[in-house]
Amino acid sequence: MAKARRQKNEEQKPEISGAVVLHQKLCLSIDMENRRVYGCTDLKILLPKGERIALHADNMTIRAVSVDGESAEFEHFPHCQVLDDERWSSVSCSKSAADAACLAYLSSLSREIVPNLIILCNRSTKSTSEQGGQENDRNIVQNSSEEQIVNGCNGFLEEKNVKLVHIDYWLERAETGIHFGNSLLYTDNQIRRAHCWFPCMDSIEQRCSFDMEFTVNTNYVAVSNGRLLYQVLSKDDPSRKTYVYKLSTPVNAGWISLAVGPFKILPDRHNTNVSHMCFSPNFSKLQNTVEFFHNAFSYYEDYLSMSFPFDSYKQIFIPSEVTVSSVSLGASMCTFSSDVLYDENVIDQTIDTRIKLAYSLARQWFGVFITAEEPNDEWLLDGLAGFLTDNFIKRFLGNNEARYRRFKANCAVCRADVSGATALSSSAASSDLYGTQNIGVYGKIRSWKAVAVLQMLEKQMGPDSFRKILQMIVGRAFPTSGSVRTLSTREFRHLANKVGNLERPFLKEFFPRWVESCGCPVMRMGISYNKRRNMIELAVVRGCTAKSGSISGSNPDDGIQEGDAGWPGMMSIRVHELDGMYDHPILPMAGESCQVLEIQCHSKLAAKRFQKPKKGSKPDGSDDNADAVLTQDNRTGIDSPLLWIRIDPEMEYLAEIHFHQPIQMWINQLEKDKDVIAQSQAISVLEKLPQLSFSVVNALNNFLNDSKAFWRVRIEAAYALALTASEDTDLAGLLHLVKFYKSRRFDADIGLPRPNDFRDVPEYFVLEAIPHAVALVRAADKKSPREAIEFVLQLLKYNDNNGNPYSDVYWLAAMVQAIGDLEFGQQSVLLLSSLLKRIDRLLQFDSLMPSYNGILTISCIRALAQIALKMSASVPLDRVCELIKPFRSMDKIWKVRIEASRVLLDLQFHSKGLDAAISLFLEFIGEEQSLRGETKLATHVMRLCQLNNESHSGSQVSCSTLVALLRLLASRKAFNNVFLRHHVFCILQIFAGRSPTLCGIPKELPPVLAPDTSSDQQNRSSSLTLKIPRPQDPPIETPNPCDTLPTAETAKDVPDIVSNCSERRTNIVKLRVKKTSSSSKADGIDHQVDQSRAGGPNESELGPCSSASVDAPPREANERLNVTNRNNDANSLHDQESRMTASMRRQMHDRKL
């Protein structure tokens, strides 16, 4: 029996250094009916010294332990320790609560690292080989397979202190690391949770081969890592079957996975070693989803010139309500949420699913097969997997898709890379954070930054040299080449020098700046054309996104502070002139903070003859009958040979670029440059102009109508037209949007929409975004024009999908979303009743025939909540909450239930404040049964806290609520869900005005915690999430409270291109040259501010500029919804949902009376 463990100091560790697991065998007998798991495991452990073996084991009862066949004593104590409430008695304010959260969180993380199963071994005689000293111990290679543990003869193992440990156990509760579902058992691979379902050395440094046996009922399939050797019926019970797997490639215990269920197996048609599995109802979706997969599999093998590193690869798709995240990685297998599956009639889900599956496959190469040598090197494996995925996107989804995604990701990195938490290879931002650096927004930023850094190296050395480096890294990991399966930053730097031919001085500057430190360069530039010298004069002001005190990733004394050498490299300037295009690599990344460069123009203007004004003409030479008069700012083509200029056109550097050029040059760039990044930059500048001309509106409209342009950028143009629609332009943007839609979708004879036809997929995406763009148009009274409301109502009323081979669920959801973004005035509010009737009809229809992943019901719930918030003076929010609560019932689709909970949290926040919303969140968490639902709710509340800080509403949280959050942080529920625990910790930090990260907090307990970060820096780093735009997403940030919500399904938003970072005041560079009339006006415009859309302190310096930064809305990655095949009770739903919208209409009517 296990002995009671004496209380130890949390930092005390047993003296077991040097122990190595050579091999492990795991046997489980699973009782699905009673939800019990009985297991035993055999470990072959090399113990160089000491008499104790220390393992990790939680959530289980150890029945017996034997060492070398003899019973052994052991001590076992749990990691999860729920303490008394007296621990939180000192909490009196948000700051003290944040301090207590740091103390509890760090204590829990550090305690989990310490082994908690101590096995006492009998004192054995030392072998004669140990008397010769410790030299032979150096031959032990920890990360090799069992046969390669000792260099030389395998018989040497017998002379060493090798112990055979056998452990019998059973799981008390399958709630941590392993979970039971409806006819399902699965593992989730959370951080340090493998030891919660089998005893092991749960550390990334410990790697070994595995043999696994799983006994289940014959109607179930057990899927695990490695190669399936055989399956055999049990001798004792013929109704049970044993699946035997062998994983010969050594991996750490965290990559061991298991899934048991009545899976239907789909062997890959192109590769017999690849198989896909799901439940029977989703099998048709599975066939359609994985049809492309062989392309990614064969492409990776071809690019790396090596076969897949494991004997097999399995993809398992399980119901989304039982998963922790949308994807769970394991060695040679991967478990996905079934909501990524899609039928052949669903368009919108295709791109996201293919990228997700391709990235998971890339992680098998870099991350599972090849591992990091140290925690500080994990960024490299993550970046290589992302780099490989980007190559897949470029190859099979198009170069435009790849460049657009990389551009948006780089923008997000520049905006968020402001503190040491984003330093890639730094102890303070990696190993000292116990793996939490990969959770949440900082994990995404670090991944994007890692890919960007590797792409910069590829640009410097060339794609062929970089590919050769990757082939060398993979090739040497195979047994035929020595089986070196770890990779370090130092080793990769060496390969960049030897194979990539990059000079040592460059690498000596590159890695400390980009990898070991935080911050991105900020380049502000403006031009002036010197006509007499035919010269471009470029003024440059250099800066950094990070504060000077946080540039270093670890020790400030070891980092590079501001004002040092800066970033290595030379940035290129591309000048488009009348005679052609010219590249000038003359802009150094490092240098003085203010600098003026001169660029010689190649084209020359022809001499202009003076023409005498005609009779009746205006003094400026224009005709009275001219339709439009060009402003001086638009005559750039006449005053200079310049068409447009681009900075770093090939994205060779990760930099935040602000560039000022005349408006006509931006129009030229939009119309004539075929690069999607150039087009997106031009649109972002033109839509922010304080004074709009018809030439800008016409340029945006022409681009929207260009069917050859990339569809994502066309969507940006549509939203830009919506923003430019104003009384000054006679709502020309709205007229263009409606005209464009009707020209594609309306029957000219009857003036009504034609039946849907989505066979032109790019055009479908663009048209899907038009209703939402129309809904964003505002008149002078800040309300939606009546024409816009009638247009959206007409589309909903006459939508006809008969004869269309594709589903219109996303199409309808976009229209419903547009209703939620409308603003109703006194006259247009009469149309609201008709819109509510349409929403009610869609809810009834979706209850009878559930849409794909329930997305239609979700959009209706969100639209009703948005309308209620805007009409709160007419509709009591409490009444709306009562109408939405039925959607939280357990018989609803899981995604619908979570969305209803989030909507209720929003309504509570806006009506009663943050404290009431947190209290409701705690109530929901107590009721929620799914781990993924807990995480989504916690993420949503974290966004509400950020919104509360940004609005400066002064809403405070009571001490009782703070203590309740601290209890949740230290509870068993938080231990079971590491994502929930981390987000609860972040919520408490946001209350105190700190960044939501452990980075910068001392490890000493009790600590004097890190000082509060500046508010502008926190707002940039703590509220950022990038989402590649879905077809119906606006490319701008709309002034709506729901825009700060993390759900991409309900309040879709695309990051703006112009930077919103915190900046220091910089010296102004004055050019002593004669300015042209166009440039002088542009300079005046450049210093104006659009206060209505300012997102941060940096907006004061923005005008017409391009930027490699982004105002990314705080949202989660776009994760799709679950679909079920069960029909709900149609009658009850019909009554509930009909009463909902009818009640809202009655409430509004009563208020009017």
pLDDT tens digits, 726-751: 877 788 899 999 999 999 999 988 98
Comparing 243-257, 546-560, 664-678, 1091-1105, which segment has the lowest mean pLDDT? Answer: 1091-1105
| Res. 965: pLDDT tops 80 | yes
What does the pLDDT look like over 354-406, one tens digit per residue?
Answer: 999 999 999 999 999 999 988 889 999 999 999 999 999 999 999 999 999 99
Report CA-CA distances (Å) from 231 to 187, 215, 263: 21, 9, 15
| Domain edge (last residue) among 243, 262, 281 | 262
Q: The CATH number of the domain where 20 resides is what?
A: 2.60.40.1730
**pLDDT at site 406:** 95
Residue type, 478: F
| Res. 2: pLDDT tops 60 | no
Same structural domain, 254 and 395 = no
What does the angle CA 413 – CA 417 – CA 419 come to, to the nearest 5 degrees?
Answer: 160
**pLDDT at site 1003:** 56
What does the pLDDT look like over 881-890, one tens digit per residue?
Answer: 888 999 988 8
Name which of 766, 655, 770, 759 is nearest 721 in CA terms.
Answer: 770
Backbone dihedral angles phi then psi of residue 1138, each to the nearest 5 degrees:
-70, -40
Residue type, 738: V
Same structural domain, 381 and 257 = no
**pLDDT at site 616:** 53
Whether 1122 maps to a domain, the answer reads: no
**pLDDT at site 721:** 94
How far is residue 257's CA from residue 186's CA, in Å, rounded to a whole number?
8
Whether 454 maps to a domain, the answer reads: yes
Same structural domain, 51 and 191 = yes
| DSSP secondary structure code for residue 517 in this structure | B
DSSP H helical ranges for 996-1076 = 1015-1022
Name which of 606, 544, 542 is nearest 571 in CA terms.
Answer: 542
Q: Does 1038 or 1149 have the greater pLDDT score?
A: 1149
Show the domain range for 244.
1-6+14-79+116-262
Whether 375 maps to a domain, the answer reads: yes
Whether 499 maps to a domain, the answer reads: yes
**pLDDT at site 889:** 87
Other CB atoms within 10 Å distance of the CB of residue 262: 13
Residues 6 or more apart whose CB falls under 8 angstroms from that of 153 comprise: none
How far is residue 362's CA from residue 308's CA, in Å, rounded to a whole number?
10
What does the angle CA 131 – CA 132 – CA 137 come to, to the nearest 5 degrees?
Answer: 95
Can the peptide bond before residue 505 be classed as cis, meaning omega within 30 degrees of 0? no
With tokens 């991996």, the residue in question is: 251
The string of DSSP codes covering 103-118 is HHHHHHHHHHHS--EE
What is the pTM assigned to this prediction? 0.82
| DSSP secondary structure code for residue 2 in this structure | P
Q: Does 447 or 639 have the greater pLDDT score?
A: 447
Name which of 608, 605, 593, 612 is nearest 640 in CA terms.
Answer: 605
**pLDDT at site 1148:** 52
pLDDT tier for residue 10 given thresholds of 50, 70 and 90: very low
Whether 417 maps to a domain, the answer reads: yes
| Domain edge (last residue) among 472, 492, 514 | 514
Strands 333-337 and 327-330: antiparallel
What does the pLDDT look like over 808-834, one tens digit per residue?
Answer: 999 999 999 999 999 998 888 888 889
| Res. 430: pLDDT tops 80 | no
Other CB atoms within 10 Å distance of the CB of residue 140: 18
What does the pLDDT look like over 292-315, one tens digit per residue?
Answer: 999 999 999 999 999 999 999 999
**pLDDT at site 396:** 95
| Res. 1087: pLDDT tops 90 | no
Q: Is 294 exposed, middle or buried (0-12, 13-18, 19+ CB in 10 A)?
A: middle
Residues 6 or more apart whose CB falls under 8 angstroms from that of 606 comprise: none
| DSSP secondary structure code for residue 993 in this structure | T
- The first and second tokens of residue 1108, run together, are 């490699």
Q: The CATH number of the domain where 462 resides is what?
A: 1.10.390.10
Whether 464 maps to a domain, the answer reads: yes
Same structural domain, 29 and 150 = yes
Whether 716 maps to a domain, the answer reads: no
What does the pLDDT look like over 88-106, one tens digit per residue?
Answer: 778 888 888 888 899 889 8
With tokens 């949740």, the residue in question is: 968
**What average pLDDT does this structure show over 193-209?**
91
How far is residue 37's CA from residue 1047's CA, in Å, rounded to a whole number?
36
| Domain edge (last residue) among 262, 296, 331 | 262
How far is residue 187's CA from residue 205's CA, in Å, rounded to a whole number?
21
Q: Does 548 or 383 have the greater pLDDT score?
A: 383
| Res. 849: pLDDT tops 50 | yes
Which neighbouring-strand residues pair with 20? 46
How far is residue 1030's CA from residue 1044's CA, in Å, rounded to a whole number?
17
How far is residue 902's CA from residue 925's CA, in Å, rounded to a whole number?
12
**pLDDT at site 1026:** 41
How far is residue 168's CA from residue 417's CA, in Å, rounded to a whole number?
48
Q: Does 1139 or 1059 have the greater pLDDT score?
A: 1139
| DSSP secondary structure code for residue 696 in this structure | H
**pLDDT at site 222:** 95
Whether 345 maps to a domain, the answer reads: no
| Res. 333: pLDDT tops 80 | yes
Report CA-CA distances (Å) from 1039 to 733, 778, 786, 866, 1044: 19, 12, 20, 13, 10
What does the angle CA 1033 – CA 1034 – CA 1040 come to, to the nearest 5 degrees?
Answer: 105
- The first and second tokens of residue 594, run together, are 């203010």
**What average pLDDT does this structure show over 953-974?**
87
Residue 839 host element (H or E)? helix 832-848
What does the pLDDT look like over 622-658, one tens digit per residue?
Answer: 444 444 433 434 444 457 889 999 999 999 999 999 9
Same structural domain, 376 and 254 = no
What does the angle CA 163 – CA 166 – CA 169 come to, to the nearest 5 degrees?
Answer: 150
What does the pLDDT look like over 120-167, one tens digit per residue?
Answer: 876 443 333 333 343 334 333 333 333 333 333 334 444 468 889 999
Comparing 449-463, 584-598, 736-750, 1138-1152, which segment has the lowest mean pLDDT? Answer: 1138-1152
Structural domains of the chain, count: 2
**pLDDT at site 21:** 92
- Helices then strands, counting H and E runs in the chain, come out as 32, 32
Where is mean pLDDT largest: 85-94, 211-220, 475-484? 211-220
Same structural domain, 18 and 136 = yes
How far is residue 291's CA from residue 265's CA, in Å, rounded to a whole number?
14
Which neighbouring-strand residues pair with 258? 224
Name which of 1087, 1089, 1062 is nearest 415 in CA terms.
Answer: 1062
**pLDDT at site 572:** 93
Strands, sheet with 60-67, edge to edge from the N-terminal-most edge strand: 70-71, 60-67, 162-171, 36-46, 20-31, 208-217, 240-251, 227-233
How far is residue 849's CA from residue 743's CA, in Å, rounded to a whole number?
32
